[in-house]
Amino acid sequence: MDALGQPTLEPPRRLERHDRRGDFTCGNDELDQWFHRYSWQNQKAHNAVTYVAQQGGRVAGYYALAAATIRRDWSPASFAAHRPQSIPCMLLARLAVDRRVQGQGVGTTLLLDALRRTLAASDQFGIAALLIHCKDEEARAFYMRHVDALESAVSPLQLVVPTRTIACALGGTAE
């Protein structure tokens, strides 16, 4: 419990089969349905890994990460230089916060965790950036408030966050 007697937000962790997904609602049917019906299936099939943050025994928010690539010619020119045709990336496939806790920093907590996991993975594997496909301008504004993302050459709703930028944002140094 916090100072106001509210349950504290638990750190994000990998989705487990027993997690209650059915009562999660963020206000976007597509994000809700994916979490309810497909998050566990995708995780079992190794298509994406979902991370959840719980508060008071309920899922307060989730995000999903998956391996991805971006074509060099779809990338921002400043990022694409000296890269292969298919640039290895991590994809932030989904991020959603339950209506009951929206506006309380849960989304920021989830995004920071996704950035940390991406940076950690980039130390072991070839990951040049985190890709974010924003569902709308509101989501884009959220991400841009928190990280210095580049706009892809394909769409203003597709963001590219180089791992160097992530390292700097998290207070580390980029190699």
Look at residue 62 in the predicted model and tell me its pLDDT.
98
Structural domains in the chain, CATH included, are 16-169 (3.40.630.30)
Question: Residue 128 pLDDT more than 60?
Answer: yes
pTM: 0.92
Cα–Cα–Cα angle for 72, 73, 75, rounded to 5 degrees: 65
Q: What is the rounded average pLDDT of the residues 32-57?
A: 97
pLDDT category at 116 given cuts 50, 70, 90 is very high
143 is an active site residue: yes
Maximum C-alpha span of the chain: 53
Of the given ranges (15-19, 21-25, 74-78, 126-130), which has the lowest mean pLDDT? 74-78
Look at residue 130 in the predicted model and tell me its pLDDT.
97
Q: What is the rounded average pLDDT of the residues 32-49?
A: 98
Q: Which of 51, 62, 63, 143 is catalytic?
A: 143
Q: What is the pLDDT of residues 74-84, one digit of tens each?
A: 888 888 888 99
Q: What is the rounded average pLDDT of the residues 16-20?
A: 95
- Residue ranges of E strands in the chain: 13-14, 49-55, 58-71, 86-97, 129-133, 150-151, 158-162
Quote the mean pLDDT of the chain. Answer: 93
Question: Residue 17 pLDDT more than 90?
Answer: yes
Q: What is the rounded average pLDDT of the residues 11-25?
A: 96
> What residues form DSSP beta bridges with 129?
89, 162
Question: Residue 1 pLDDT more than 80?
Answer: no
pLDDT category at 172 given cuts 50, 70, 90 is low
Question: Residue 10 pLDDT more than 60?
Answer: yes
- Give the residue from 27, 67, 75 showing the smallest Cα distance to 48: 67
Q: What is the rounded average pLDDT of the residues 105-109?
A: 97
